[in-house]
Amino acid sequence: MSLIICAKDIGLTEVCSMGTIDAISHGCVTAAAVFLNMPGTEYALQKLSETPWVSLIWQVSDTGRNPLQSGQEELLEYEVLNCIRIYGKAPCAALIESDTLAKPARKICEKYGIAHDWLGKDIIPVAQSSVGLGFDNFPQYDPEEQFFSFDSSNGIYFISTHPGFLDDISMAATLDTDYSVHRLADQRLLCSDDFRKKLLSRHELISPDDAL
């Protein structure tokens, strides 16, 4: 079985992204999903340019955006151009998590050769937690669960993780929704040498660049 392990929400803040980059350095993460519109974006892209073996994914969501009725396509294109300026090239793929931005984001993806309809039949997303990812669920949260909770010898599976350090901004942005203190649990797991050995003994790790 092949796994794509994706660290998400990179660029939310510089402090949060420092934790993500630290987790990436331990060798389990094969894809980095970056917000291209957030305070930590430039820092994240600069650091990720030093790890070209990790695929860059454009994470398109409503996080940090004003509900604009016009000009969305131009702003999204600016994000990609800014990424090319800092990182050296466009992302290989996109995760479009916004219904509002779906149409203009797909148009920009097609213009710059960014894959956008790639999760599904051939690359199968895995649910991150059976107990939920809200703050109140944290005592029951097991960050290892999604890596070993399914049984299949064939196919490519996509696993989302959210490693990162916490600061006032990242806590305020997520405390009432998902992925607040869970980031620290994911961080600790992905920095564990014992976990890495266990993971590599059972799965082949590949990147979206490999899969696509």
Across the range 35-56, mean pLDDT stands at 96
Residue 133's domain comprises 2-211
Q: Which amino acid is at 205?
A: L
Report the C-alpha gap between 57 and 55 in whole angstroms.
6
| Residue 205, Ramachandran bin (φ over 0: left; ψ between -120 and 50: alpha; else beta) | beta
Higher-confidence residue of 180 and 75: namely 75
Across the range 185-204, mean pLDDT stands at 94
Q: What is the mean pLDDT of the chain?
A: 89
Share of the chain above pLDDT 90, in %: 65
Residues 6/31, Cβ–Cβ less than 8 Å = yes
Nearest alpha carbon to residue 13 among 188, 211, 193, 166: 166
Higher-confidence residue of 209 and 173: namely 209
CA distance to 12, 27, 34, 156, 210, per residue, from 207 (Å): 22, 12, 15, 10, 5
Supply the pLDDT for residue 141. Answer: 81
Supply the pLDDT for residue 140. Answer: 78
Supply the pLDDT for residue 151. Answer: 67
Q: What is the pLDDT of residues 79-136, one digit of tens each?
A: 999 999 999 999 999 999 999 899 999 999 999 999 999 998 789 998 776 656 666 7
Supply the pLDDT for residue 70. Answer: 63
Q: What is the pLDDT of residues 135-168, one digit of tens each?
A: 677 777 888 888 987 766 678 999 999 999 988 8
Q: What CATH number is given to the structural domain containing 160? A: 3.20.20.370
> What is the CA angle 107-35-167, rounded to 5?
165
List the structure tokens of 144.
């290892």
Supply the pLDDT for residue 180. Answer: 74
CA distance to 51, 153, 202, 209, per residue, from 206 (Å): 14, 15, 13, 8
Across the range 190-198, mean pLDDT stands at 96
What's the number of domains the chain is made of?
1
Identify the band that residue 69 occupies on the pLDDT scale cut at 50, 70 and 90.
low
